[in-house]
Amino acid sequence: MGLTLTEKIIKEHIVDGEMKKGTEIGLRIDQTLTQDATGTMAYLQFEAMGVDRVKTEKSVAYIDHNTLQSGFENADDHRFIGSVAKKHGIWFSRPGNGICHQVHLERFGKPGKTLIGSDSHTPTGGGIGMLAMGAGGLDVAVAMGGGAYYITMPKVVKINLTGKLNDWVSAKDVILEVLRQLTVKGGVGKVMEYTGEGVKSLSVPERATITNMGAELGATTSIFPSDETTLQFLKAQGREEDYVPLSADPDAVYDEEVNIDLSKLVPLAACPHSPDNVKTVEEIGKIKIDQVCIGSCTNSSLQDMRKVAHILKGKTVHPDVSLAIAPGSKQVFNQIAEDGTLAILIAAGARILESACGPCIGMGQSPNSKGVSLRTFNRNFLGRSGTKDAQIYLVSPETAAVSALTGVFTDPRTVGNMPPYVMPEKFIINDNMVVPPASVEDAPNVEILRGPNIKPFPINKPLAENIESAVTLKVGDNITTDHIMPAGAKILPLRSNIPAISEYCFTVCDETFPKRAKEAGTSIIVGGVNYGQGSSREHAALAPLYLGVKAIICKSFARIHRQNLINNGILPLEFVNESDYDKVEQGDNLVIANIRSIVENGGQIIVEDKTKGFSFEVKCELSERGKGMMLAGGLLNYTKNN
Ligand code: MIC
Ligand code: SF4
């Protein structure tokens, strides 16, 4: 029986467990990446592990999220990460060099390798044929130290692409179509593997747009084969030697299949406030818009910038629209500066931003109140833009650019013929903003620069025998990490300071939560399906831990967040009967007896609702390693004990 591409890469990297679907496997990790908003914690955790030098083939620390520097905090974090990187064998991509995923694709990603990153959009690397996964900071720290990365052996979904995209319909519309069909929980436990003749017509950056936003499906990752197109891209990056051809065996067996005829796709948009709330641009109609933002790790390649420039050339942004554009990397920025693309964007009235995440994570460019903003990004969760009542739509660069001119939601197919995009034979290659690590001899002399905002992170205690606690918060379905631990310009600078950042925990849902949780001392949170979807931010576990949260009881969890809870010793419990969710109310006092023994030895977990006078069953499926972590009070304790 043939293997899928996913299985082939897993087979090459498996160090623990067997390739049996649904069971836990440990993978050797070739490359890691971190960004600054999760990186400070990851490196504090790496330091706590006491490993001198990373054991990976390549580890890169990027600065791209917290670049606003409206106080000393961000700059201090940058210096801290830069110094840790230098000391411990990590390459350091300085602020200004670009968004981690875009730069990694251009300069470091290699087909067939495994990559984990402390950012949920790490699957961008799947565009170049890597098995690239988002993970918690602690998982990345462990991988840097040479430890395996554990996942559930995924199901593999074949996404069979046929036909070719029509003019002005683009890769973004492909992934929006997949999201429309499968929803934000459709990818849980699965890898999306793209195959079929339609693959050939997609460039590497287009493939990366698709694998990037595959994160919104809740998927373990997404991957494209490595073919002639990959080779051309690597050649143009001066990295021909990194090429290996890779594809699934012709007789590979997939768990599911989705067929997409590219020629049938039309421009799509994800409507507020979820990436799977997808409609056609035509269907949405000519809504008046206030803002357009083009960029982010999803759509900021040279190809994207050139298409946008073609649309904007010789025209002016609509008087009621503010247009912001952030090229994804220094390479893209440099290239558009040299070839005249940038001049076109500036002349049209675009506000050019630095190569960073920027508005995607609420770092500036928040829309006006009740503003309608069209963004080429990947997430439109409530409040993420920094304006709570804004309406954020996720669209392709083509739809964004055309609409910026008309001032209303506009189908880009009205623009006329699309010029072909010809990838340069050689991109501008200049890695002068990537600082290499110190040599083994020099490393001991590198001083770690720690600013006053960097506070120690909380470490849990071993699991108690019984948990007795009130439900301090009850939330609904699809709660995102942006609900649990919001980002934005005000809060992101506190990423290295858990006591300070926890003051904002869950404030999107309930402003009083941090205060109430602290008063209660211990807490249980009740949630619906797909709890913790979205980002990989470990802060969505660390802040609750700091506030005394002992367990989350919900209908189901998102993958990375569940792992972050286990890594930090917070119990992830799931209702056995979903109807019990309706019976438990905020304020109820719950008792979970003998939980330590049950985690250790197995058995039914019964939760007693003392307030309502009834009991219900929950489950907590853990691997042996997961049990060890839960009992020890998290991964760090577990690693120390072992
Ligand atoms: C995001 O897109 O939500 C982020 C910001 O990149 C996060 C990481 C973070 O919160 O620091 C992610 O995707 O993991
Ligand atoms: Fe940055 Fe946005 Fe991409 Fe997250 S999704 S890595 S915030 S650009």
User: What is the tens place of the pLDDT at every residue in 439-484?
Assistant: 999 999 999 999 998 999 999 999 999 999 999 999 999 999 999 9
Residue in this structure with the two tokens 């009542």, named with its chain if needed: 389
3-state SS string for 430-456: CCCCEECCCCCCCHHHCCCCCCCCCCC
pLDDT at 220: 98
Helix 330-339 to helix 341-348 angle (10° resolution) is: 90
Q: Is the CB of 560 under 6 A from ligand 1?
A: no
Q: What is the spatial distance between Cα 367 and Cα 375, in angstroms, rounded to a whole number?
A: 11
Model confidence at 356: pLDDT above 90: yes
pLDDT at 527: 98
In this structure, what DSSP letter does residue 104 have? I
Best residue for ligand 2 mutational test, from 122, 213, 297, 536 (most atoms within 8 Å of Cβ): 297
CB atoms within 10 A of CB 200: 12
CB atoms within 10 A of CB 619: 12
Which parts of 32-71 fold into alpha helices (H)? 36-49
Range 140-163 average pLDDT: 97
Range 132-149 average pLDDT: 97
Active site residue 251: no
Q: What is the spatial distance between Cα 332 and Cα 486, in angstroms, rounded to a whole number?
A: 30
Q: What is the spatial distance between Cα 120 and Cα 216, in angstroms, rounded to a whole number?
A: 9
Compute the half-sphere exposure of residue 38: CA atoms within 13 Å on the CB side of its CA.
29
pLDDT digits (tens, 9 = 90+) for 301-320: 999 999 999 999 999 999 99
pLDDT digits (tens, 9 = 90+) for 262-299: 999 999 999 999 999 999 999 999 999 999 999 999 99
Which residues on neighbouring strands pair with residue 92, listed in sequence order? Answer: 61, 435
Q: Is the CB of 535 under 6 A from ligand 1?
A: yes
Among the listed residues 495, 537, 561, 562, the single catalytic one is: 537
Report the mean per-residue pLDDT for the chain.
97
Range 145-160 average pLDDT: 97
Contacts of 596 (CB under 8 A, 6+ apart): 463, 464, 465, 631
Model confidence at 416: pLDDT above 90: no
Active site residue 483: no
Q: What is the spatial distance between Cα 588 and Cα 610, in angstroms, rounded to a whole number?
A: 7
The answer to whether 195 touches 247, Cβ cutoff 8 Å, is: yes
Helix or strand (DSSP H, E) at 257: strand 256-261
Phi, psi (degrees; rounded to nearest 5) at 117 = -140, 145
What percentage of the chain has pLDDT greater than the value 90? 98
- Distance, first Cα to last Cα, the chain: 39
| 44 three-class SS | helix
Q: Is the CB of 122 under 6 A from ligand 1?
A: no
pLDDT digits (tens, 9 = 90+) for 418-444: 888 999 999 999 999 999 999 999 999
pLDDT at 641: 87
Residues within a 6 A CB radius of ligand 2: 65, 99, 119, 121, 296-297, 357, 360-361, 377-378
pLDDT digits (tens, 9 = 90+) for 376-410: 999 999 999 999 999 999 999 999 999 999 999 99
pLDDT at 229: 98
Phi, psi (degrees; rounded to nearest 5) at 516 = -65, -40
The residue nearest atom 6 of ligand 1, judged by CA position, is 119
pLDDT digits (tens, 9 = 90+) for 204-260: 999 999 999 999 999 999 999 999 999 999 999 999 999 999 999 999 999 999 999
Contacts of 417 (CB under 8 A, 6+ apart): 167
Model confidence at 359: pLDDT above 90: yes
Report which bound ligand comes closest to the CA of 137.
Answer: 1
pLDDT at 640: 83
Compute the half-sphere exposure of residue 135: CA atoms within 13 Å on the CB side of its CA.
28
Range 586-602 average pLDDT: 98
pLDDT digits (tens, 9 = 90+) for 607-621: 999 999 999 999 999
The tokens describing 585, both together, are 């109310």
The tokens describing 134, both together, are 């988002």
pLDDT digits (tens, 9 = 90+) for 558-579: 999 999 999 999 999 999 999 9
The answer to whether 28 touches 13, Cβ cutoff 8 Å, is: yes
pLDDT at 639: 87
Q: What is the spatial distance between Cα 239 and Cα 232, in angstroms, rounded to a whole number?
A: 10
pLDDT at 410: 98
- Distance in Å, CA 401 to ligand 2 centroid: 20
pTM of the model: 0.98
Residue in this structure with the two tokens 């990375």, named with its chain if needed: 560
Active site residue 375: no
pLDDT at 642: 83
Active site residue 119: yes
- Distance in Å, CA 65 to ligand 2 centroid: 7
State yes or no: cis peptide before 483, omega within 30 of 0: no
Amino acid at site 179:
L
Distances (CA, A) of 618 to 169, 311, 551, 578, 603: 46, 55, 11, 10, 11
In degrees to the nearest 10, what's the CA dihedral of 107, 110, 114, 120? Answer: 40
Question: What is the atom index within ligand 2 of the atom nearest the CA of 487?
Answer: 7
Active site residue 65: yes
Q: What is the spatial distance between Cα 326 and Cα 336, in angstroms, rounded to a whole number?
A: 12
Among the listed residues 28, 36, 59, 65, the single catalytic one is: 65
Return the closest-CA partner of residue 45 out of 141, 148, 144, 145.
Answer: 141
